[in-house]
């Protein structure tokens, strides 16, 4: 049996605004309009027929996730894992859970893994989902087995993605088979991660990273990381970034996290985070900076938006090939020639080692 990661959708909340075109998303192609979502699939072959699939877990489920699943393997996943509670990451959760409620065994509930604040946000948005879901809490830095899939576990690492995304995390999935482990990292949406030195060492085991690439250039008020913190003209004046850092002391953001999740593990994580990071000096605010710390060899850019690059930097929005080319050059310029970059569309598949 092999393990695959499939992109079910690569878009942000609003891939193409009504009345416009976007070079990255073809408005005539339904799958281009899907929110960022993934399936991690254990299967005997790449056909993903009902007979071949042994298990599937879905990471985030927003717009078009369920139509995409229907069009493809058309089965209910063993579990749903969530990075944060925004609509474009949770909207499909109800459809998946009700699918099990109406067609599964009596009282069968969809296993859902998320942090406590994310689960609270899901319940506020979709209150009736409570009866259709079996919730398992993810805690910072703690490896939690995905019980439905022997050998699979998930570790959540806190990230900052703005005040409206309480408890947001990146998820490291580990699959252990025949005593060899494979790792893949899904960042979800983030402006920056709350990571400690040791966490970077753990994350660097990942074979591939699927990372938020909403912006090419820094615009932190968007609550999204950018690909680079360099200015387009290579000057060093990070106007928006420096101003944002001044207005948002890291300690205040950490206290907010602790308010939302007063759990002991959470406190321990953020205590050691604060010991290492009294200011923003060593915290990555770009994909380039994040990769310099983790050296994950395969980068998949998702959740592309581009409007802030136009609005604040007068740079154009790119199509997927152009984005891939630009990002590859950027990494090469920073001495990361061995890292491959892609901007995958729905259906894109990699095999885990």
Residue numbers at the binding site for Zn ion (CB under 5 A): 86, 88, 189
Q: Is the Cβ of residue 212 or residue 230 nearer to Zn ion in the bound state?
A: 212
Q: Is the Cβ of residue 11 or residue 77 nearer to Zn ion in the bound state?
A: 11
Rounded Cα distance, 252 and 265, in Å: 19
Cβ neighbours for 104, distance < 8 A, ≥ 6 positions apart: 76
Cβ neighbours for 290, distance < 8 A, ≥ 6 positions apart: 193, 211, 225, 284
Q: CB 151 → Zn ion: shortest distance, Å?
A: 29
Q: Is the Cβ of residue 62 or residue 77 nearer to Zn ion in the bound state?
A: 62
Q: Is the Cβ of residue 149 or residue 209 nearer to Zn ion in the bound state?
A: 209
Q: Is the Cβ of residue 86 or residue 166 nearer to Zn ion in the bound state?
A: 86
Q: CB 84 → Zn ion: shortest distance, Å?
A: 6
The angle subtended at Cα 192 by Cα 336 and Cα 38, nearest 5°, is 75
Q: CB 87 → Zn ion: shortest distance, Å?
A: 8
Q: Is the Cβ of residue 163 or residue 251 nearer to Zn ion in the bound state?
A: 163
Rounded Cα distance, 26 and 231, in Å: 28
Q: CB 302 → Zn ion: shortest distance, Å?
A: 9
Q: Are strands 2-9 and 180-186 parallel, antiparallel or unpaired?
A: unpaired
Give the closest residue to 88 by CA, choosing from 112, 115, 64, 116. 64
Rounded Cα distance, 172 and 79, in Å: 15
Q: CB 189 → Zn ion: shortest distance, Å?
A: 4
Q: CB 291 → Zn ion: shortest distance, Å?
A: 21
* Whole-angstrom Cα Rg for the chain: 19
Rounded Cα distance, 9 and 109, in Å: 25
25's tokens: 């998303």
């Amino acid at each position: 049996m092999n393990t695959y990661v499939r992109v079910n959708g690569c878009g942000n909340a609003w891939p193409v605004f009504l009345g416009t075109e976007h070079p990255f998303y073809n408005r005539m192609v339904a799958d281009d309009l899907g929110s960022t979502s993934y399936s991690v699939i254990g299967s005997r072959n790449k056909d993903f027929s009902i007979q071949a699939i042994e298990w599937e877990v879905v990471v985030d489920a927003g717009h078009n996730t369920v139509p995409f699943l229907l069009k493809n393997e058309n089965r209910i996943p063993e579990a749903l894992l969530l990075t944060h509670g925004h609509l474009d990451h949770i909207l499909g959760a109800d459809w998946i859970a009700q699918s099990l409620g109406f067609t599964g065994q009596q009282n069968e509930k969809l296993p859902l893994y998320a942090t406590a604040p994310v689960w609270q946000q899901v319940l506020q948005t979709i209150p009736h989902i409570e009866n259709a879901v079996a919730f398992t809490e993810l805690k910072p830095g703690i490896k939690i087995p995905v019980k439905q899939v022997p050998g699979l576990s998930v570790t959540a690492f806190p990230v900052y993605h703005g005040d409206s995304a309480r408890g947001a995390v990146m998820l490291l999935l580990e699959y252990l088979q025949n005593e060899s482990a494979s790792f893949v990292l899904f960042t979800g949406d983030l402006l920056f991660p709350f990571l400690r030195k040791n966490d970077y060492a753990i994350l660097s085991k990942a074979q591939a990273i699927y990372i938020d690439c909403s912006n090419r250039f820094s615009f932190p008020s968007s609550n999204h990381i950018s690909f680079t913190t360099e200015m387009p003209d290579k000057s060093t004046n990070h106007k928006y970034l420096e101003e944002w850092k001044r207005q948002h002391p890291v300690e205040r953001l950490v206290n907010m996290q602790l308010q939302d999740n007063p759990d002991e593990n959470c406190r321990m994580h953020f205590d050691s985070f604060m010991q290492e990071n009294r200011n923003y000096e060593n915290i990555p605010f770009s994909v380039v900076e994040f990769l310099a710390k983790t050296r994950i060899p395969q980068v998949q850019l998702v959740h592309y938006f581009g409007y802030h690059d136009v609005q604040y930097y007068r740079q154009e929005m790119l199509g997927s090939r152009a984005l891939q080319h630009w990002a590859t050059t950027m990494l090469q310029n920073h001495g990361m020639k061995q890292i491959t970059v892609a901007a995958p569309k729905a259906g894109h598949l990699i095999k885990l080692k």
